């Protein structure tokens, strides 16, 4: 059900670019990791990468991305020459892993970094950098779920001012199913298109809005 912003063939480019951006910003330009996270998340660069803009995924190097992030958010120009590194730094891994998770989950970078601070990611590096990327995905998913406890269904239903019983009656979807979707005891991503359409129609949202990323 999940729609990703760009095809997997561009993923390795995005991972390498963001990894190089973090490495350059932190290790060469001496920008604090947590500060660069905030600048990146606030910049249009992160949104353009999320949306799969070709110029960001394959048209720019990581150094160019870091330069653009800092210039856009602070007005400063990074001019420090990049250093040649024989090994991948922890900061490179952070950018590399987060780029993968963003593509995999289709979540916004700002939400990912709200659930996972730079300090959190540094600690994860020492445990997970040699493991398969799916291990990082599992840990990141748990942290994101802790940060954003309400499901999209519950959040939208509550904002709409509709009770579970009212939603069940108007949509024709079983009340117990709605309760289980909101409690994450039942995966709404595996619900039928008909079920999702019926709920979305009542709440005035799209099917995509209901999907858990």
Confidence label for 83 from pLDDT (cuts 50, 70 and 90) = confident
Tell me: do 173 and 123 sit in the same domain: no
Quick check: is 50 in a domain?
Answer: yes
184: left (phi over 0), alpha (psi -120 to 50) or beta: left
Contacts of residue 83, defined as CB under 8 A and 6 or more positions apart, other chains included, come to 27, 28
pLDDT range class, residue 128, cuts 50, 70, 90:
very high
Same domain? For 16 and 113 the reply is: yes
Read off the pLDDT of residues 148-171 as tens digits, 9 standing for 90 and up. 888 999 989 998 999 999 999 999
> Where is the domain boundary, 98, 126, 147?
147
Q: Please state, as a whole number, how many other Cβ atoms lie within 10 Å of the Cβ of residue 198.
A: 17
What whole-number distance in Å separates Cα of residue 183 and Cα of residue 193?
A: 20
Residue finishing a domain among 132, 147, 162:
147
Whether residue 137 is found in the same domain as residue 203: no
CATH at residue 158: 1.10.260.40
In a domain, 206, yes or no: yes
127 in the same domain as 59: yes
The verdict on residue 172 lying in a domain is yes
According to the model, what pLDDT value does residue 3 have? 63
Question: Do both 107 and 156 map to the same domain?
Answer: no
Q: What is the pLDDT of residue 1?
A: 47
Tens-place pLDDT, residues 182-199: 988 888 999 999 999 999
Euclidean distance between CA atoms 57 and 128, whole angstroms: 25
User: Does one domain contain both 57 and 89?
Assistant: yes
Domain total in the chain: 2
- Comparing 137 with 84, the larger pLDDT belongs to 137
Average pLDDT for residues 75-95, to the nearest whole number?
91
Q: Rounded distance, CA 133 to CA 96, Å?
A: 10
118 near 26, Cβ under 8 Å?
no
Kindly state whether residue 74 falls inside one of the protein's structural domains: yes
Is residue 61 located within the same domain as residue 156? Answer: no
Which range is least confidently modeled, 77-86, 114-123, 166-175? 77-86
Q: Does the structure show a pLDDT above 90 at 28?
A: yes
pLDDT at 147 over 80: yes
168-181 in b/e form (b: 16+ CB < 10 A) is beebebeeebbeeb
Which residues, including other chains, have CB under 8 Å from residue 18's CB and lie 6 or more apart? 49, 62, 65, 95, 96, 98, 99
Counting beta carbons within 10 angstroms of the beta carbon of residue 140, is it exposed (0 to 12), middle (13 to 18) or buried (19 or more)?
A: buried
Q: Are residues 86 and 18 in the same domain?
A: yes
Does residue 96 fall inside a structural domain?
A: yes
- Asked whether residue 88 is assigned to any structural domain, the reply reads yes
Tell whether 180 and 193 lie within a shared domain. yes
For 38, 95, 131, the CA distances from 13, given in Å and listed in that order, are 22, 12, 20
Centroid of chain to Cα 212: 12
The pTM for the full model equals: 0.75
Q: For the purposes of burial, counting CB atoms within 10 Å of the CB of 124, is it exposed (0-12), middle (13-18) or buried (19 or more)?
A: buried
**Which residues span the domain enclosing 188?**
152-210
């Amino acid at each position: 059900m999940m729609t990703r912003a760009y095809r997997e063939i561009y993923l390795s480019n995005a991972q390498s670019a963001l990894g190089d951006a973090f490495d350059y910003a932190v290790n060469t330009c001496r920008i604090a990791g947590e500060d660069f996270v905030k600048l990146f998340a606030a910049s249009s660069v992160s949104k353009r990468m999320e949306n799969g803009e070709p110029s960001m995924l394959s048209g720019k190097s990581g150094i160019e991305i870091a330069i653009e992030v800092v210039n856009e958010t602070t007005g400063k120009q990074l001019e420090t020459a990049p250093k040649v590194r024989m090994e991948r730094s922890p900061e490179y891994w952070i950018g590399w892993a987060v780029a993968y998770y963003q593509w995999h989950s289709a979540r916004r970078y700002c939400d990912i970094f709200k659930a996972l601070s730079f300090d959190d990611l540094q600690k994860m590096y020492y445990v997970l950098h040699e493991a398969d990327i799916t291990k990082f995905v599992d840990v990141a998913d748990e942290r994101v779920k802790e940060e954003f406890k309400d499901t999209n269904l519950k959040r939208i239903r509550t904002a709409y001012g509709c009770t579970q019983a009212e939603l069940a009656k108007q949509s024709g979807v079983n009340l117990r199913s709605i309760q289980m979707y909101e409690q994450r005891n039942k995966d709404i991503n595996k619900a039928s298109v008909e079920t999702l359409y019926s709920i979305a129609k009542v709440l005035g949202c799209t099917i995509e809005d209901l999907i858990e990323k």
